[in-house]
Amino acid sequence: MGSTQSSTDSAVAAADRGFDRALGSAAAGYRLLGWSVVVAEHGIFLELGPTAIAVAMPGRAGSRVLADLKSRMLAGPTLVIPGPQERWVFLAELVALLPTQLQAPADVQLVRPPHRVVLPPTLTQHGPVRWANPPSAARHWLPPFTAVIALARAMASGD
């Protein structure tokens, strides 16, 4: 019995080392994009800055917003966060101060500094975080958050 436990412990330790290497490799790639990331025990997190925010929404709306952004050649990095209600998170540029009267649909949230956004290959209790539209070394920009919000509003109103 001790031998079985020992091999199970070894397999878990090897898997943990593999995950740690994957986190380190992913973090290095994100840093090459100029992103400020933090590697923690459970994953990688993007630190939002003065010009970078995130726009989070339900998966169904997110997939439609991403399709519209792609058709307008405005699509930027977009995450899929698994869960009972999948969330899509659009990384976006804060091109102006947030208006106090910003009208976003009720199920859309703006994530601003000092908050962080989880990045792949982080594992959540519901599965791995993944990219719906991955970042690209050739594309070092983020779409304006106003474009993401405008398309989310259009989806919500049925336009």
| DSSP letters spanning 82-93 | -STT-EEEEEEE
Answer whether residue 107 is part of any domain.
yes
Answer whether residue 151 is part of any domain.
yes
Three-class secondary structure of residue 109 per DSSP? strand
Q: Which residues pair with 116 in a beta bridge?
A: 47
Dihedral angle sign, alpha carbons of residues 17, 36, 63, 101 = positive
Tell me how far apart the alpha carbons of residues 40 and 54 are, in angstroms, rounded to a whole number: 20
User: Does residue 86 contact residue 92 with C-beta atoms inside 8 Å?
Assistant: no
Per-residue confidence (pLDDT) for residue 14, from 0 to 100: 45
User: pLDDT 10s per residue in the chain (159 long)?
Assistant: 555 555 444 444 444 666 688 898 999 999 999 999 999 988 999 999 988 999 999 999 999 999 999 999 999 999 999 999 999 999 999 887 665 556 788 899 999 889 999 999 999 999 999 999 999 988 878 999 989 999 999 888 775
Per-residue confidence (pLDDT) for residue 87, from 0 to 100: 97
Radius of gyration of the chain (CA): 18
Per-residue confidence (pLDDT) for residue 129, from 0 to 100: 97
Say how many domains are in the chain.
Answer: 1
- Pure H helices in 33-144: 59-71
Report pLDDT digits (tens) over 110-144: 998 899 999 999 999 999 999 999 999 888 789 99
Per-residue confidence (pLDDT) for residue 22, from 0 to 100: 86
Answer whether residue 114 is part of any domain.
yes
Per-residue confidence (pLDDT) for residue 124, from 0 to 100: 94
The helix (H) or strand (E) run that includes residue 69 is: helix 59-71
Containing domain of residue 97, as a range? Answer: 48-157
Per-residue confidence (pLDDT) for residue 98, from 0 to 100: 65
Per-residue confidence (pLDDT) for residue 101, from 0 to 100: 56
Three-class secondary structure of residue 106 per DSSP? coil
Tell me how far apart the alpha carbons of residues 56 and 70 are, in angstroms, rounded to a whole number: 17
Cα–Cα distances in angstroms (integers) from residue 106 to residues 46, 60, 70, 133, 156, in the given order: 24, 15, 24, 24, 9
Answer whether residue 18 is part of any domain.
no
Q: Which residues pair with 81 in a beta bridge?
A: 87
Per-residue confidence (pLDDT) for residue 152, from 0 to 100: 93
Instruction: Name the DSSP letter for residue 144.
Output: B
Answer whether residue 80 is part of any domain.
yes
Answer whether residue 103 is part of any domain.
yes
